[in-house]
Amino acid sequence: MKDDSRVTMSRFSGLSSKLIATIIGVIFLVEIVVYLPSIASFRTTWLEDRLRVGVVAARVLDAVPDVMALPRELTDRLLTSAGADAIVYRREGQSQLIERTEPVLPERAVTADLRQGDLSSQIVGAFDTLFAGPGRTLRIVGEGEVDASLVELLMPEQPLRRDMIDYSRSIALVSLGIAAATAFVLYMLVSTLFIDPIVRLTGNMLAFRKAPENGSLILTPSTRRDEIGILERELAAMESEIFTMLRQRRHLADLGLAVAKINHDLRNTLTSAQLLSDQVATLDDPKVQRLAPRLVTTLDRAIGFAQSVLDYGRETAAPPQMVSVRLRSLVEDAAFEARAAGNPMVMFRNAVPDDLTIVADPAQLGRVLANLLKNAREALEGLGTNDRENQIAVEASAEGDSVVISVIDNGPGLPPRARQNLFVAFEGSARAGGTGLGLAIAREIAEAHGGKLELVEVPKGTRFDITLPQARPER
């Protein structure tokens, strides 16, 4: 058994830590979703700024006649402003080039076409730049101010990558701050509304489980009207019921122990009286001969009642040991034990199929069958006839995932009083002097198997059905 003393309650353990981790994780996930278009937009804006300088250069080239060349000072200023090594202006099938005095030959080039404005292409391009190695040359392509004109810039990609990394670092720091602040606020809110009440409920349940007889540990519910308030009130009611039930059971146990001792002494006294009555029955006095059988019968009933009470008090609540068992053999053994098989006053018929196997505790289920068969036999013997038409039958059939076992007799049936209190101990007996404990115990055994025992209405006689679920036995 687990030692509950090892269970400790802490604000930052259990649900609390999971809640904090979940909040931070969700915020970072949201930040990542926001970061993707943000970094793509940053890259696009950075490229457009560089392209804008190239458009200015194209405007200068349009203003200068073709026979004239731009001053070197102007071209260097344009290239420096754009951070480019070369600017190409294409219009009407002609190209004009502005480049540095010492041209740089790119080893690896990648094209950034600003004419492609879809978000997915921009996100892919941004991550391509972030994870690219050094030494690549960036070729920026965009439209000029004149129709059907293009402007191209050749420049190192490293400045763009460096700016994007700085931007990403800033975004990460801001996201971390937002996540921490949001997680703290949400944690305090959720902790006040949910975590603290759950910790209180959990601590109360652990404490009450260790000492359910301590009435001071019964939870005092709050005035909340939500689900936690309902849980508090229901837990308080359940603990009150358990506390009351334990006290009642303790009193009943003490009372039952006293009754058992009295009953044991009473049974011994009745046994002695039975021996004396047997001796009295041997006398030749006519009055004694007339009254002796009644006395013997009365003493037999009293002894049987005392023995039934003792047996019921010794009854244990052992769980059934589920195994596979052949039902027909189990019924045969129960019929022999109940003296239904081979009885000269009763015809017994075992109609259970030979190949029907069920999963049950054979000892407990056999006790149920023996009790039902015994009741059926006594009902038929009570008719006082030696008629072979007095029959008891046991039938069984599989219905879906269950097996139904029927114990049927064609006797007089149950009286109304027995039907009203059929499975109530000391109330549901169908014969005078009976205790009604047999059916009460039989129903408990059926329910312990996950099934049920019920009386089925039939035109004549009595029929009890035992319904058992058919699960695999545990190995």
The 10s digit of each residue's pLDDT in 314-355 is 554 567 788 999 999 999 999 988 888 888 888 899 999 988
Give dist(CA 273, CA 260) in Å, integer: 20
Number of Cβ atoms within 10 Å of the Cβ of 253: 10
**Residue 243: pLDDT over 60:** yes
The fraction of the chain above a pLDDT of 90, given in percent, is 8
Q: What is the pLDDT of residues 91-123, one digit of tens each?
A: 777 777 777 666 666 667 888 888 877 888 888
Average per-residue pLDDT for the chain:
77
3-class state of residue 422 by DSSP: coil
pTM for this model (two decimals):
0.44
Give dist(CA 84, CA 23) in Å, integer: 45
CA atoms within 13 A on the CB side of 447: 9
**Residue 258: pLDDT over 90:** no
CB 438 within 8 A of CB 390: no
Model confidence band, residue 283 (pLDDT cutoffs 50, 70, 90): low
Q: What does the pLDDT read at residue 257? A: 64
Give dist(CA 352, CA 468) in Å, integer: 15
Q: Kindly state the average pLDDT of the residues 224-235.
A: 87
Give dist(CA 442, CA 375) in Å, integer: 12
- Burial class of residue 308, CB neighbours in 10 A (0-12, 13-18, 19+): buried
Give the length of the chain: 475
φ and ψ of 109, to 5 deg: -125, 145
Model confidence band, residue 67 (pLDDT cutoffs 50, 70, 90): very low
- In the block, tokens 């009150």 appear at 240
Q: What is the pLDDT of residues 15-62, one digit of tens each?
A: 667 777 787 788 778 888 888 889 999 989 988 888 888 777 777 766
**Residue 407: pLDDT over 90:** yes
Q: What does the pLDDT read at residue 288? A: 62
CB 409 within 8 A of CB 379: yes
Q: What does the pLDDT read at residue 59? A: 73
Q: What does the pLDDT read at residue 369? A: 92
Rounded to 5°, the CA angle 363-366-368 comes to: 115
Give dist(CA 121, CA 112) in Å, integer: 10
Pick the closest to residue 41 from 130, 110, 119 (CA basis): 119
CB 353 within 8 A of CB 445: no
Per the model's pLDDT, the better-predicted residue between 371 and 58 turns out to be 371
**Residue 273: pLDDT over 70:** no
Q: Write the DSSP symbol of residue 30.
A: H
**Residue 2: pLDDT over 50:** no
- In the block, tokens 């801001």 appear at 174
- In the block, tokens 């810039």 appear at 153
Q: Report the greatest alpha carbon distance in the chain.
A: 161
| Backbone angle region of 342, left / alpha / beta, with phi > 0 → left and psi within -120 to 50 → alpha | left
* Tokens standing for residue 224: 């909340």
Q: Kindly state the average pLDDT of the residues 304-318.
A: 56
Cβ neighbors of 17 (< 8 A, separation 6 or more) are none
Q: What does the pLDDT read at residue 427? A: 52
172-186, 243-257, 321-335 — most confident range: 321-335
Question: DSSP string covering 357-377, please?
Answer: EEEE-HHHHHHHHHHHHHHHH
The fraction of the chain above a pLDDT of 70, given in percent, is 71
Show the DSSP H helices in 158-226 as ranges.
158-190, 196-210
Per the model's pLDDT, the better-predicted residue between 438 and 137 turns out to be 137
3-class state of residue 162 by DSSP: helix
Which residues is 183 bridged to in the sheet? none
**Residue 313: pLDDT over 60:** no
